[in-house]
Structure 1
Amino acid sequence: MPISPLPPQLVNQIAAGEVVERPASVVKELLENSLDAGAANIQVDVEQGGVRRIRIRDDGSGIPKDELALALSRHATSKIASLEDLERVASLGFRGEALPSIASVSRLTLTSATPDAGSGWTIRGDGGDRFEAPMPAAHPEGTTVEVRDLFFNVPARRKFLRTERTEFGHLEEVVRRIALSRFRVGLALSHNRKPMLQLSPAMNEAAQLDRVAKVCGQTFAEQVVRVDHEAAGLRLHGFLGLPTYSRSQADLQYFYVNGRMVRDRLISHAVRQAYQDVLFHGRHPAFVLYLELDPALVDVNAHPAKHEVRFRESRLVHDFLFRSLHKVLADLRPGEGVAPARMEMPQSTVAGEAGAGAARSWSHVQSGLNLRVAEVMEAYGNLHPQTELQESPADDAVAPPLGYALAQLHGVYVLAQNAAGLVLVDMHAAHERITYERLKQGYWGEGLKSQPLLVPAHINVSRREADLVETHGEAFARFGFELLRSGPERLQIRAVPSLLSRADSEALVRDVLSDLVTHGESRRVEAAVNELLATLACHGSVRANRQLTIPEMNALLRDMEATERSGQCNHGRPTWVQLSMDQLDRLFLRGQ
């Protein structure tokens, strides 16, 4: 077959294969156009999961009559005009492919009115590469795009669509993501003429948290800490889920770069490392975070659907994200404005639900972990042999965050009273975290000591990895390694960290090199050392069922308030919960 140019219609349908995967893809592209047009309110109406009909109306700047046909032609856009514009693009869309691609696989109607126009104008297409001439239409300032019968002329693509419920689920998730990206924009969604989401513009912090609650759930909104950190021309802000509000899947993770929702491996790796020391194994953090930086420092043109980005200084971004989030999580301790692990309390209790029935009404947010605290601890007073603390004062208003101890329950829990109500502390879990943090401070404060190998180990690596050993020699030395390049693609391991002398040094070196290649840095050694220290802390937290004195219990509470990450033990379990007076009153039907 001779080489020949493709027909315009086929070119558009090929492009549609990259941009338009399902109805959710159409909604994403059209919503981004509305945001780029400066819309303050957007209405999304869909039928049959978006397959039959999608209509998006906004109050943005609109499209002039003589540009309507141009808007439906390939690579026509008002957002960039030069390579310099592309390198600093701040708009969500810029390729000029979305509208023509959507129009090539649907029956599309575009209606718009600009502020200075006497009336609106509409243009229609029927899946071909030609459109009717614009016709007058009554329309307020802004734009309406209606997409009917998606993939009607591409039956093979239509067969890959799922059920109406599944397609709407994907579409609704796109709307939710967009809603979190622009708090100042009002957004409404209806399905089969039934309202599904109604979000007013959120102009202050309280309204923004309310929107987060409506999109991510009220429980998430109650279990977040605000983040706002700026350094080196980067700013990270948003809502970070507490470690105790972890998920079995990575289904509540929203990350935006300059207002664009992205899924990026470098970002995921930095966030995962920040949570590494506080999450239970196999659990995933929840967050809504925003990264702002100079548009010239990020390439948003790295993926056809613009889901991925490429940072020009990836190591700087990774380090900034990790350090910012790591500090926030380290500062999560009683008294730092963070909520404790949450207890779900019953809405009401009836007389017939006494005894075992009443016990069923208590449900911890992490009940899905099926964790049972079977450990009991020995006298905590050994850590404070000379501590003498005052008894609980009469005025709770001056009490410290965890209050003052009242009693010990079954050698496992400390019961304390603070200004809010009752505090329950898992003594072993709290002692374990305190011990672990002290071990880390002592070990890392002195630095990693090396232990020479009697017989140096030799490993084969790539030339690029061997080069990294030479350029990052100081980093390896800081970790306690002594590595020498013995050939173009060969390394010699002469010394390893003393605490990891029994570990697989070859595998550890390879993992560190892999991280350096991918992310520009590695925390493998730190993670391996901390894992051993956590094990020591777990075994070092004594378990004998011995009753503690009130001063010993108060000493534990004060140490928790002063210890980083004291809200979770080394395994990610909560160390304390708070029961407010309102919750206690509801248990006993007071005031009902």
Structure 2
Amino acid sequence: MALPDPNISDSRPVIRQLDEAAINRIAAGEVVERPASAVKELVENAVDAGATRIDIAQADGGKSLIRITDDGCGMSAEDLPLALSRHATSKLPGDDLLDIHTFGFRGEALPSLGAVGRLTITSRVTAAEAHRITVTASQIAPVSPAALSCGTVVELRDLFHATPARLKFMRSDRAEAQAITDVVRRIAMAEPSISFTLRDITDGGDRMILRADAESGALFDALHGRLRTLIGADFADNALKIDAERDGIRLTGYAALPTYSRGSAVTQFLFVNGRPVKDRMLHGALRAAYMDVLSRDRHPAAALFIDCDPHLVDVNVHPAKSEVRFRDPGTVRGLIVSGLRHALAEAGHRASSTVAAGVLGAMQPEPQSARIYQMDRPRSAPIPQPGFAETAPVFARIDTPEEPPEENHPLGAARGQVHENYIIAQTATGMVIVDQHAAHERLVYEKLKQQRAENGVAAQQLLIPEIVELPAEECAQLLAIADDLNRLGLTIEPFGGTAIAVRATPALLGEVAAAPILKDILDELADTGDSQLIETRIDAILSRIACHGSIRSGRRMRAEEMNALLREMEATPLSGQCNHGRPTYVELKLSDIERLFGRT
């Protein structure tokens, strides 16, 4: 006797329309992932409303209370119920989803928040009375009169009370509060003309977490002041101005010197048409721009703004609007890489001021409980006598020539050599300590790269082409960049079907297997939209050649050699850091040195 199949049922599933409350809760799961998501949506609404002051207050990491107060245009009594309806917005004048000039446009945030929390909106437009509306679990109360001088106050209490399962996935109050701070910081960077305050009012307190007053002045001046407030003075003092344009796309912002790097990517802020985004392609382009001046375990710091016609970028990729898709991602990536590399090259030999600050901090004399005078020293201490053998000095002094070298050069004039490795130079305002090996390594490396750019990369022809079988889509990806690979010495061509023939490889790489290289290139294309693999490997070899061909540590140098090295550093881009991103020199101001010895 055959048993009935448990997967077959006589009853057919019935298709039904979800009710409004369920629809809003589903939408809220996409738009409002955590309290920081709610803050993002509400603060962006305030920016779109033309606010000049925005105050954000949160309690218990935003779980129990989020309050956003702004002085924007406000909403009328008729607008309030409509604002709580799904897909109702004032920010999309037509039906063109690419013609977007505001943060919001989907009309989902407020109804989603009202579906998972207790939402109250109080608002007033100019020359009218204030009104209030409340919604709890998608149940909207009637509009009522209220008291408010101007703008809008949005209060969200007990977030996710209607979906308690979501609360189990929340992190600690401290972690959620930090996520809110990060969201507010990013929006504040994009809007330096708006004043922002973020306060923690947990348990009736009122602790200021972040305050950024409105900045005045031109674009770059206002942005520089806002970044100084939000990222810190060290970043602002060591950041390079970025301003580049290509094919209608403009890149602006500030990027830090390579010697001001971080152990993670926490100080990387990217914006597209003023919107904070997290995009793998953009972050990959930023990493590629610093590829030649930072080691793999260090990360650059930057705040970069990409502005373009809204039709060139799609921000409607995800309800959270943190992802974007460019019509021509290659142009954007190339603009970031070339714009940053040009700025780094323009910086020349400049190194970050934090390097000198770290040196001075390490040189601080240890406090002593009491001064020790010569007469208080123990009698057993040996006193050097003439004729006794003494330790050879480690300082190699330069005999002063009849006409001393100029000290007005940025890196000064060489005065000596310490431990046959460090050049001591005197400048007009202080002194410079140069790592002779690291500095010369960078100089040789830059010369090798210049020769490669002028003469190209030598290719090694294979006697028998290596045939690599790949999926059709991956073959198309590789063949699309075949010309770029050929300039780097890797020659590929189609071999029929889903195969690629590798006919030459870069000679500098020696004998290599082509298949693993092609697969690594494909992985990089999938991750960042571009591949720097071959160039990176060639640069690594040039870097090793430069290391072996540079002045070695322990070599005593003559005065003219030291000064020649200093002059060449001043004329060579990127000479402020070695091939691994470490500083090649430290500059100490005379005032800082005098402070060490208490002479101020």
User: What is the TM-score normalised by the length of structure 1?
Assistant: 0.89
Single out whichever of 166-175 and 514-523 deviates more from structure 2. 514-523
Cα distance in 1 for partners of 2:369, 2:492 equals: 67
C-alpha deviation, 1:338, in angstroms: 6.9
Q: Which amino acid aligns with 1:43?
A: D
Q: 1:91 maps to which residue?
A: 102
- For this pair of structures, how many residues does the alignment match? 552
SS at match of 2:452: helix
**Which of 128, 136, 141 matches 1:126?**
136
SS at match of 2:566: helix
Q: 2:212 maps to which residue?
A: 199
C-alpha deviation, 1:304, in angstroms: 1.8
Q: Is 1:296 the counterpart of 2:307 in the alignment?
A: no
Cα distance in 2 for partners of 1:5, 1:389 equals: 95
Where in structure 2 are the equivalents of 1:192-341 lying within 5 Å? 192=201, 193-204=206-217, 205-206=220-221, 208-334=223-349, 341=355
Aligned-pair identity in percent equals 42
After superposition, give the CA deviation of every residue in 1:312-361 in whole Å (9 maximum; x if it has no partner). 111111111111112112333236x9758342334986751899xxxxxx
Q: Which amino acid aligns with 1:252?
A: T
In 2 relative to 1, CA 389–289 (structure 1 residues): closer, same or farther, beyond 3 Å? farther
Q: Which amino acid aligns with 2:118?
A: R
Cα distance in 2 for partners of 1:23, 1:243 equals: 35
C-alpha deviation, 1:529, in angstroms: 0.9
SS at match of 1:341: helix
Q: Is 1:571 the counterpart of 2:583 in the alignment?
A: no
C-alpha deviation, 1:474, in angstroms: 3.1
SS at match of 2:454: helix
Cα distance in 1 for partners of 2:499, 2:523 equals: 15
Q: 2:457 maps to which residue?
A: 448
Q: Is 1:426 the counterpart of 2:435 in the alignment?
A: yes
SS at match of 1:494: strand
Contact 1:389 1:554 in 2 (8 A): no
Cα distance in 1 for partners of 2:597, 2:77 equals: 68
Runs (4+) of structure 1 exceeding 6 A deviation are: none
In 2 relative to 1, CA 390–139 (structure 1 residues): closer, same or farther, beyond 3 Å? farther
C-alpha deviation, 1:515, in angstroms: 4.7
Q: Which amino acid aligns with 1:115?
A: T
C-alpha deviation, 1:258, in angstroms: 0.6
Q: 1:109 maps to which residue?
A: 120
Cα distance in 2 for partners of 1:20, 1:501 equals: 53
SS at match of 2:462: strand
Q: 1:383 maps to which residue?
A: none
Q: Which amino acid aligns with 2:75?
A: I
SS at match of 2:355: coil
Q: 1:385 maps to which residue?
A: none
Cα distance in 2 for partners of 1:573, 1:500 equals: 26
Q: 1:23 maps to which residue?
A: 35
Q: 2:475 maps to which residue?
A: 466
Cα distance in 2 for partners of 1:207, 1:416 equals: 37
Q: Which amino acid aligns with 2:117?
A: S
In 2 relative to 1, CA 530–354 (structure 1 residues): closer, same or farther, beyond 3 Å? farther
Cα distance in 1 for partners of 2:592, 2:183 equals: 36
Q: Is 1:58 the counterpart of 2:70 in the alignment?
A: yes
Cα distance in 2 for partners of 1:501, 1:267 equals: 33
Q: 2:445 maps to which residue?
A: 436
Q: Which amino acid aligns with 1:90?
A: H
Q: 1:3 maps to which residue?
A: 15
In 2 relative to 1, CA 31–87 (structure 1 residues): closer, same or farther, beyond 3 Å? same
Where in structure 2 are the equivalents of 1:341-490 lying within 5 Å? 341-344=355-358, 345-346=360-361, 351-352=367-368, 391-393=404-406, 396=407, 399-468=408-477, 470-490=479-499
In 2 relative to 1, CA 109–443 (structure 1 residues): closer, same or farther, beyond 3 Å? same
SS at match of 1:256: strand
C-alpha deviation, 1:416, in angstroms: 1.2
Cα distance in 1 for partners of 2:481, 2:119 equals: 56
Q: Is 1:168 the counterpart of 2:182 in the alignment?
A: no
Q: 2:49 maps to which residue?
A: 37
Cα distance in 2 for partners of 1:48, 1:308 equals: 28
Q: Which amino acid aligns with 2:134?
A: R
In 2 relative to 1, CA 112–223 (structure 1 residues): closer, same or farther, beyond 3 Å? same
SS at match of 1:577: strand
Q: 2:378 maps to which residue?
A: none
Q: 1:360 maps to which residue?
A: none
Unaligned regions of 5+ residues in structure 2, if any?
A: 1-12, 372-395
SS at match of 1:77: coil
SS at match of 1:111: strand
C-alpha deviation, 1:135, in angstroms: 1.2
Cα distance in 1 for partners of 2:570, 2:111 equals: 59
Q: 2:9 maps to which residue?
A: none
C-alpha deviation, 1:585, in angstroms: 2.2
SS at match of 2:139: coil
Cα distance in 1 for partners of 2:402, 2:497 equals: 64
Cα distance in 1 for partners of 2:173, 2:526 equals: 43
In 2 relative to 1, CA 460–49 (structure 1 residues): closer, same or farther, beyond 3 Å? same
SS at match of 1:343: helix
Q: Which amino acid aligns with 1:89?
A: I
Contact 1:348 1:589 in 2 (8 A): no
Q: Which amino acid aligns with 1:120?
A: A
In 2 relative to 1, CA 419–135 (structure 1 residues): closer, same or farther, beyond 3 Å? farther
After superposition, give the CA deviation of every residue in 1:237-262 in whole Å (9 maximum; x if it has no partner). 11101111111111111011110000
Contact 1:332 1:338 in 2 (8 A): no
Cα distance in 2 for partners of 1:481, 1:172 equals: 47
Single out whichever of 575-584 and 4-13 deviates more from structure 2. 575-584
C-alpha deviation, 1:148, in angstroms: 0.8
C-alpha deviation, 1:5, in angstroms: 0.7
Contact 1:24 1:170 in 2 (8 A): yes
**Which of 75, 88, 98 matches 2:87?**
75
C-alpha deviation, 1:480, in angstroms: 2.0
Contact 1:466 1:488 in 2 (8 A): no
**Which of 534, 539, 543 matches 1:534?**
543
In 2 relative to 1, CA 197–518 (structure 1 residues): closer, same or farther, beyond 3 Å? closer
C-alpha deviation, 1:136, in angstroms: 1.2
Cα distance in 2 for partners of 1:427, 1:354 equals: 40
Cα distance in 2 for partners of 1:410, 1:79 equals: 67
SS at match of 1:125: strand
Cα distance in 2 for partners of 1:8, 1:474 equals: 55
After superposition, give the CA deviation of every residue in 1:386-443 in whole Å (9 maximum; x if it has no partner). xx996334xx5xx121111111111111111223311111111001000111111112
Q: 1:370 maps to which residue?
A: none
Q: Is 1:510 the counterpart of 2:550 in the alignment?
A: no
In 2 relative to 1, CA 495–259 (structure 1 residues): closer, same or farther, beyond 3 Å? same
Contact 1:329 1:565 in 2 (8 A): yes
Q: Which amino acid aligns with 1:352?
A: Q
Cα distance in 1 for partners of 2:429, 2:272 equals: 38
C-alpha deviation, 1:476, in angstroms: 3.3
Q: Which amino acid aligns with 1:27?
A: V
Structure with bigger gyration radius = 2
C-alpha deviation, 1:513, in angstroms: 4.6
Q: Which amino acid aligns with 2:268?
A: Q
Q: What is the root-mean-square deviation of aligned Cα atoms in Å?
A: 2.3
Contact 2:259 2:352 in 1 (8 A): no
